[in-house]
């Protein structure tokens, strides 16, 4: 179970950092961002999170704000995974630290 939480946490961190980098590149690249290959890579990595965020939000939320919803969901998931990791280590008696 500990390994599963570690893997989920790593995947969540990759998505979180990719979303943050995509946001920074969105600000710097401006209207030319769609031709930027690095932006395309970040957009590909974060597309499942963005689709999930669109799925769980009501239609009244504008598409422009889905990135903020996705960021919030990833941050909540990160907090929950940190809590799960701590809980599993404490439950094992602290022997999982190598």
Residue 96 placed within a domain? no
pLDDT reported for residue 83: 96
Q: Does residue 70 sit within a domain?
A: yes
6: in domain = yes
Q: Is the model's pLDDT at 61 over the cut of 90?
A: no
pLDDT in tens, 5-57: 999 999 999 999 999 999 999 888 888 888 888 889 999 999 999 999 999 99
| Rounded Cα gap, residues 75 and 68, in angstroms | 10
pLDDT at position 96 over 60: no
**Residue 79 within any structural domain of the chain:** yes
The number of distinct structural domains making up the chain is 1
Reported pTM: 0.84
Reported as a pLDDT band with limits 50, 70 and 90, residue 84 is very high
Look up the domain containing 54 and give its range.
2-91
SS3 state at 66: helix
Residue 98 lies inside a defined structural domain of this protein: no
CA dihedral 47, 53, 59, 64 (to 10 degrees): -60
Please report whether residue 74 resides in a domain: yes
Q: Indicate whether 71 belongs to any domain.
A: yes
> What local confidence, expressed as pLDDT, does residue 36 receive?
86
Q: Which residues contact 5 (CB under 8 A, 6 or more apart)?
A: 81, 84, 85, 88
């Amino acid at each position: 179970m500990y390994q599963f939480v570690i893997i989920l946490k790593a995947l969540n961190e990759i998505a979180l950092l990719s979303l943050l980098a995509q946001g920074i590149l969105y600000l710097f690249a401006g209207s030319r961002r769609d031709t930027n290959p690095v932006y395309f890579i970040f957009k590909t990595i974060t597309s499942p999170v963005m689709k999930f965020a669109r799925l769980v939000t009501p239609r009244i939320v504008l598409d422009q704000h889905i990135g903020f919803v996705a960021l919030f969901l990833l941050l909540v998931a990160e907090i929950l995974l940190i809590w799960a990791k701590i809980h599993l280590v404490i439950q094992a008696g602290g022997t999982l630290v190598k």
